[in-house]
Amino acid sequence: MEPVLLTRRLALRQFTAADVGNLLELDADPAVMRFIDKATKSRAEIESQVLPRFLAYHRRHRDFGVFAADTRADGAFVGWFGLRPVVPSGDAWLWKDGPVDSGVASLGYRLRRSAWGRGYATEGARALVRKAFTDLGIDEVIATTMAVNVGSRRVMEKAGLRYVRTVHLPWEHPVEGNEHGDVEYRLRRSDWAGSR
């Protein structure tokens, strides 16, 4: 599969059916899922839910979606990065998928534990922010995480996003730390351009 985006050390590409094992290894790690879900994913869930959802993003919007991230040095799978157009809402933290002309895109990422602490998350996030503002006509990039997920918050800040608010949502199956809320980060294209 041809890369969609290259960074200094990473190649981002569309997922394929051959990535089931990669996604299973990623989502079956309790440390990776710590701030996402109490349960890890099974192979059946990857095949019937996760991978089809990722592939559907690309069918709807060619330049957006969830991209597999491999190292350029040896092609090792390190995780994924996502950029999808959304319809923002002032009173909700979770945004619905939207049309490209909404002007707002949601940034996300998930990396294997073996890839943590190497700067890959920041490198991939910065590349997608740049792509959103320079190639895709996006006016604002947003991202969210649990307030206690310090590592993810650092990545957002290093990618240029700034803290906007903390919200407390009634999750059906809250994970430990949920009582501290979830945080929202944002970056407008004008602020990104002004900081370069």
Angle at which helices 120-134 and 150-158 pack, to 10 degrees? 40
Residues 101-108: what's their mean pLDDT? Answer: 92
Output 101 or 141, whichever has higher pLDDT.
141
Residue 97 — very low, low, confident or very high, per pLDDT cuts 50/70/90?
Answer: confident
3-state secondary structure of 136: coil
CA-based nearest residue to 156, from 178, 134, 128: 128
CA-based nearest residue to 1, from 66, 68, 92, 84: 68
CATH class for the domain made up of 5-194: alpha beta
pLDDT of residue 92: 59
At 187, give phi and psi (nearest 5°).
-150, 125
The yes-or-no verdict on residue 84 having pLDDT over 90 is yes
Helix (H) or strand (E) holding 7: none
pLDDT of residue 61: 83
pLDDT of residue 107: 97
Beta carbons of 64 and 99 less than 8 angstroms apart: no
Provide the whole-model pTM. 0.93
3-state secondary structure of 135: coil
The yes-or-no verdict on residue 93 having pLDDT over 70 is no
Cα(87)–Cα(51) distance, integer angstroms = 23
